[in-house]
Amino acid sequence: MTAGVPIAPAARITALPNYCSNSGALERLWIAIRGRLMQAGVHGLPDTLTWPTDLRPHWRDPSLLIGQTCGYPLVTELPGQVRVIGSLVYAAPGSQGIWNRSQLVVREDEPATRLEQFRSRTVAYNGTDSQSGYNALRALVSPLAVQGRFFGRGIESGSHLKSAEAVRDGLADIAAIDCVSLQGFRRYRPDVTQGLRVLGETDDYVGLPLITSLETDDATLVLLREVLSQTCTDPTLASLRAELFLAGFEPLDEAAYAKHLAMRNQALALGCPHL
């Protein structure tokens, strides 16, 4: 453990809100992380995770010690406003190391077998600021677009869960679902994925970044990376990690997320600013 780490300010907050199908396991993960941080002399740590409903002020909160954002807003909205800790590594279909792919879900009774067959049909997406649900899919369909559009209609659902439900219920024909979210639905919310199948997947991109406030000093950032690495390799936590599909942790900086911008720029260059 790194020596001489400054004591963290009082009332730090922590949150891991993006993959919340098993919130109880996430809370237990935080307890394990918290214990190691306390042993290293970091105080002012919360007993439980925060579950923010308004993400933008949460990401910029100067008291944020560990948070989770999407890689697309990281590179489009947050440069110079947060520090990147790294990325958790997941073991789920569509994941390989730090790289993830969005899964294209359609109904099981959908006769189409290729993405091209969804021209002019309805797509559901969680939000225009999402890498997995919007930006990666826009990059995938942009070479197929005509006069800047591929799909005929888009439904902004507000979450991956609601996008999957929209496809399941016939409100939309296709959606790109983050592969870790989809695996969580399969295991913990099978009602959401009942009647769905995976048609294909997007190109890969680096998984969700863990972030910390600009107020977090270099020594504490190093400590956070050490503690996350240890927590993700501790054999006594193997069953907990399996509940969360966790396979490791990789320290990264903001530059690791350049592909998110490249995907956006590819779509814009092809005249496809929207899904």
pLDDT digit string (tens) for 191-219? 999 999 999 999 999 999 999 999 999 99
- Predicted confidence (pLDDT) per residue in 225-249, tens digit: 999 999 999 999 999 999 999 999 9
Rounded Cα gap, residues 227 and 223, in angstroms? 6
Q: What is the pLDDT of residues 98-107, one digit of tens each?
A: 999 999 999 9
Contact 233, 88 (CB under 8 A): no
Rg of the Cα atoms in the chain? 19
For CATH 3.40.190.10, list the domain ranges present in the chain. Answer: 13-90+207-258, 96-205+262-269
Does 7 have pLDDT greater than 80? no
Confidence of residue 11 (pLDDT cuts 50, 70, 90): confident
Indicate if the pLDDT at residue 149 is higher than 90: yes
Starting from the edge strand earliest in sequence, which strands make up the sheet with 196-201, in order? 153-156, 122-125, 174-178, 102-107, 196-201
| 90 sits in which H/E element | strand 82-90
What is the reported pLDDT for 4?
A: 46
Contact of 84 with 252, CB cutoff 8 Å = yes
- Give the whole-angstrom CA distance, residue 86 versus residue 264: 22
pLDDT given at position 10: 54
Q: What CATH topology corresponds to 96-205+262-269?
A: D-Maltodextrin-Binding Protein; domain 2 (3.40.190)
CA distance 171 to 200: 20
Percent of the chain scored above 90 by pLDDT?
Answer: 94
- What is the chain's mean pLDDT, rounded? 95
**Topology at the third CATH level for domain 13-90+207-258:** D-Maltodextrin-Binding Protein; domain 2 (3.40.190)
pLDDT band per the 50, 70, 90 thresholds, residue 177: very high
- Number of other residues whose CB lies within 10 A of the CB of residue 119: 14
Cα 275 from chain centroid? 20
CA-based nearest residue to 21, from 196, 198, 244: 244
Q: Which residues of 156-194 are buried (b: 16+ CB within 10 A; e: fewer)?
A: ebeebbbbbbbbbeeebbbbbbbbbbbbbbbeebeebbe
Banded model confidence at residue 3, pLDDT cuts 50, 70, 90? very low
For residue 15, the surrounding DSSP H or E stretch is none
pLDDT (tens digit per residue) in 103-141: 999 999 999 999 999 999 999 999 999 999 999 999 999
